[in-house]
Structure 1
Amino acid sequence: EALSSGLYPDKRHVIREFVQNAFDTLNEWGRLSGEQLLKPIEIRIQKPSVFIADQGVGMNEIQAQQFRYLGYSSKDGKENVGFRGIGKDSGLAVAEKIVVSTSRAGVPVRYTIVIDAENMLEDSASGRNPPLEEILEKHTRVTSASEDKESHYTFVELHNIRKDAHILFNTDALKDYLRRNCPVPFDPAFRHADEITARLKAYVPTFSAVEINLDGENLYKPFSSNYTGPEYEPTFSSDDEGAPLIAYCWYCGHIDKGQF
């Protein structure tokens, strides 16, 4: 019940969950493969569904089976950026069914996970109070098929978006939200983009940005070029010499005085 209503008053948070899960698996692929240029996260709005796809490391059989279980995660909180940490379960808040197709690099199998969210929620609200394990066993399934060994991806379909989540079909509103809330690159037109990106990579070892393509348009952080050169403010855990860096921020003054 909490997942289907209370945790996501803004239904766009659900897309953010899946996007940041994709961001994490893309970065894992980058670490494993050594690839520097990661493929964009692809989002497509095709009523009645929303699709999110990445070419990250993908899932093997054990991970695909674990995906069925609510709340399970093997992520490292220090390296991953998942929003609320329960991204794979967030689809219950917006869709009648969640369909995930995935293949892990080096594994010649595609796994398809289906979560029947509508019937799962109806069953849990029936008053019978069935055990969670019973609900999951009844309303989720995993199947497999052959796949190219070199393929690696995760494709998510949020099938049949519910009426209270139709803001997800508002392309402009979703683009604006993702630009502001997801780890996308700076707009190439922002003249300080390269300098700031280089500084962040130098001082924040886990810094990364991945392009999102929504219905054919690449999304970037919405900064214009009406700014003076950037300033930087490192924050350390204490004033002691050699204290570890805990935050690194940047800011630009606006060409009109008094604005940042």
Structure 2
Amino acid sequence: MDSRDAVNPDVAAHLESVRADVPGSKNIREVFTKEIMADFNHTKVVCLARELHDRVVIQNSFDSIQRAINELHILKPGEGLVEIELAADKNSLTIRDNGAGLSSKSAAEVLTRVGASGKSYRKNAGFRGIGRLAGIVFSDTVTFTTKTRGENEETTVVFNAKAMRAAMAPGKGSSKSAQILLKESVHAYKSPSNEIKRHYFQVKLDGFTDAPDECISSSEMSDFISQVAPVPFSSEFPFVQKIKDAAEKHQIPVEEVAITIKDGEGKPERVYKRYVSEYDFESGKVNLADCHIEASTSGQWWAWIGKKSESGAYTDPRVSGLRVRVRNIQIDGTEIVREIFREHAKSYVRFQDYYLGEIYMNAGALVPNARRDGFEEDAAWKKVRGELAAVVTSLGKEAYSVSTTGQNSVEAQRENLEKAKKNIRRLKKSDFQDADAAIKLSTDITKYQKQIAKGSQGADLPTLAEFQAIGAELVDIKREALARVGTAVMDLDRERVQQEARDEILREIMVLLEEQLSPGCYSEVREILVATFDIDADRA
């Protein structure tokens, strides 16, 4: 029996109260503007909406699975599953979970409620009630299908996203009220089900406009999910047990859920975090030397930080940097910690990518903002940010020390000498026609000479002798390069070298000042130095 008419009156009745969920709203575009459409630039909105949708749908699935395990006891720990399927024609996407689902009595009301949610940020990963509808921005239809255990029918709610998007366009004036447009664009119905014991929630996006990469590429979706979602660590990561022990000790768990991705007719594949035993970095491949645990004295967070013995930034954006997580769901990639570096340890900001790791927050202590790219600026977050500032400053100093030691080592200078030899051979081959290349070679050698001078301090006699031999060869190469491009170039080179040397000295002075002065005093001194000596503020 088709029972659509039995549900539609409930939907229509609920739509009469939509305006109460978003105080002061007059039309449907205002409803969405409250959260994701402050600037209806199509590209910007699609990018934000697709991430908001994918992230929040996963969060909601996670919440539903946790409810099925912890409250309803219809799943055992470890039985939760989120399945993502990309259609073979790359024009639809389905996300399905085996969580608690929604009852037929409340499903239509819950799914048509815009901008309001009954969830608590203290208990739930997704709680604002808008993200599930973000797919409207880039899909023709958004269809929700759900069922709870013990019921003999499932509920389906369909949003005509294409019509809604057209009505929200600035050229249309967004004249229709939220209630009218939702009545015209949303329909719901119930269908009989013989699978009484089944429980699920499904979202299907059909008909893409400017399809997001994650919706048409399983590898892109996998990369996204591996970073954002609460998926397990890979068995290739050697510090899993140490992290589990830290989570138990500090009473902030690393919650997990199984997620699979199916591409067309292919087999579903499990997604894991990308942390492994070996990583790409600036100088090649490197293994982690240690997994260091940091923790808040107030108990609001703990972190694991991967450390390596070699200097250089990780080059894989899926793992590089320190990432903040709430209930093991990532909040805004690496930008939160990078911003703390900028505010409190600017001299070390480049070292953010010299580390990898995760910071797990107490879910009840902080309130994520609507876009899930940060936290509400309240007293709790300010306190935590201050604690993290002390950690990143210490990490910056450590990375700076390793970097300086590496740059000044005999091995590093041997590599620099080989680079210089290669470049002088190239210049000889072109009969020194490229004056700019000669100047750059001279500048590089001057930098190497300063590093040799630092490395020579306190070196034993064999090391000192090797430094001197490398330095002598570099002097010969520099002399040959400049002799062939004329006096004018030598003068220009001298000016550049002097400028770079001065800037390097000033940067080192700033590092020392930052260590010794209070943040406020250091900030004032830095502004004076930047203005007086015309230093590049981003590199100072």
- Give the TM-score normalised by structure 1: 0.87
Match of 1:38 in 2: 79
1:123 aligns with 2:167: yes
SS in 2 for 1:50: strand
Gaps of 5+ in 1: 238-244
Give the partner amino acid of 1:219: V
With over 3 angstroms needed to count, the CA separation of the structure-2 counterparts of 1:110 and 1:135, relative to structure 1, is same
Match of 2:217 in 1: 170
Are the aligned partners of 2:289 and 2:309 in contact in 1 as well (CA < 8 Å)? yes
Q: Write 1 or 2 for the structure with the bigger share of strand.
A: 1
What is the CA-CA distance between 1:108 and the residue it aligns to? 2.6
Match of 2:408 in 1: none
* Residues 112-121 or 204-213, more deviating: 204-213
Residue by residue over 1:187-211, the C-alpha shift from the partner in whole angstroms, topping out at 9 and shown as x without a partner, is 1211211331343255344541112
Are the aligned partners of 2:232 and 2:273 in contact in 1 as well (CA < 8 Å)? yes
- Distance (whole Å) between structure 1 residues aligned to residue 296 and residue 135 of structure 2: 37
* Residues 189-198 or 119-128, more deviating: 119-128
Match of 1:138 in 2: 184
Residue by residue over 1:23-81, the C-alpha shift from the partner in whole angstroms, topping out at 9 and shown as x without a partner, is 11111111121611133211111021011010001011213322112113111111222
What is the CA-CA distance between 1:229 and the residue it aligns to? 4.0
* Residues 159-168 or 44-53, more deviating: 159-168
With over 3 angstroms needed to count, the CA separation of the structure-2 counterparts of 1:124 and 1:182, relative to structure 1, is same
What is the CA-CA distance between 1:164 and the residue it aligns to? 4.8
What is the CA-CA distance between 1:100 and the residue it aligns to? 1.1
With over 3 angstroms needed to count, the CA separation of the structure-2 counterparts of 1:43 and 1:232, relative to structure 1, is same
Give the partner amino acid of 2:100: V
Which one has the largest radius of gyration? Answer: 2
Match of 1:23 in 2: 62
Match of 1:182 in 2: 229
Match of 2:112 in 1: 68
What is the CA-CA distance between 1:249 and the residue it aligns to? 1.0
With over 3 angstroms needed to count, the CA separation of the structure-2 counterparts of 1:204 and 1:85, relative to structure 1, is farther
- Distance (whole Å) between structure 1 residues aligned to residue 190 and residue 270 of structure 2: 32
Are the aligned partners of 2:120 and 2:127 in contact in 1 as well (CA < 8 Å)? no
With over 3 angstroms needed to count, the CA separation of the structure-2 counterparts of 1:66 and 1:83, relative to structure 1, is closer
* Residues 30-39 or 111-120, more deviating: 30-39
Give the partner amino acid of 1:16: R
Give the partner amino acid of 2:155: Y
Pick 1 or 2: higher relative contact order, CA cutoff 8 A, min separation 6. 1
What is the CA-CA distance between 1:146 and the residue it aligns to? 2.3
* Residues 86-95 or 205-214, more deviating: 205-214
Are the aligned partners of 2:164 and 2:185 in contact in 1 as well (CA < 8 Å)? yes
Q: Write 1 or 2 for the structure with the bigger share of helix.
A: 2
Are the aligned partners of 2:56 and 2:131 in contact in 1 as well (CA < 8 Å)? yes
What is the CA-CA distance between 1:98 and the residue it aligns to? 0.5
Are the aligned partners of 1:39 and 1:55 in contact in 2 as well (CA < 8 Å)? yes
Aligned residues: 253
Match of 1:250 in 2: 304
- Distance (whole Å) between structure 1 residues aligned to residue 276 and residue 164 of structure 2: 46
1:9 aligns with 2:52: no
Give the partner amino acid of 2:98: Q
- Distance (whole Å) between structure 2 residues aligned to residue 176 and residue 123 of structure 1: 34
Are the aligned partners of 2:117 and 2:127 in contact in 1 as well (CA < 8 Å)? no
1:49 aligns with 2:96: no
* Residues 213-222 or 10-19, more deviating: 10-19
Give the partner amino acid of 2:83: E
Match of 1:219 in 2: 271
What is the CA-CA distance between 1:105 and the residue it aligns to? 2.3
Match of 2:155 in 1: 111
- Distance (whole Å) between structure 2 residues aligned to residue 63 and residue 218 of structure 1: 29
SS in 2 for 1:176: helix
Give the partner amino acid of 2:293: Y
Are the aligned partners of 1:12 and 1:174 in contact in 2 as well (CA < 8 Å)? no
* Residues 187-196 or 161-170, more deviating: 161-170
Give the partner amino acid of 1:153: Y
**2:292 is matched with which residue: 231, 235, 241?**
231
Gaps of 5+ in 2: 1-28, 263-267, 278-286, 313-353, 356-540
Give the partner amino acid of 1:231: H
- Distance (whole Å) between structure 2 residues aligned to residue 182 and residue 83 of structure 1: 16
* Residues 189-198 or 199-208, more deviating: 199-208
- Distance (whole Å) between structure 1 residues aligned to residue 240 and residue 47 of structure 2: 33
Percent of aligned pairs with the same amino acid: 22
- Give the TM-score normalised by structure 2: 0.44
Residue by residue over 1:134-174, the C-alpha shift from the partner in whole angstroms, topping out at 9 and shown as x without a partner, is 11111112211223221110111111111253552022222
Residue by residue over 1:109-153, the C-alpha shift from the partner in whole angstroms, topping out at 9 and shown as x without a partner, is 211110111112223443361110111111112211223221110
With over 3 angstroms needed to count, the CA separation of the structure-2 counterparts of 1:50 and 1:204, relative to structure 1, is farther
Match of 1:195 in 2: 242
* Residues 156-165 or 82-91, more deviating: 82-91
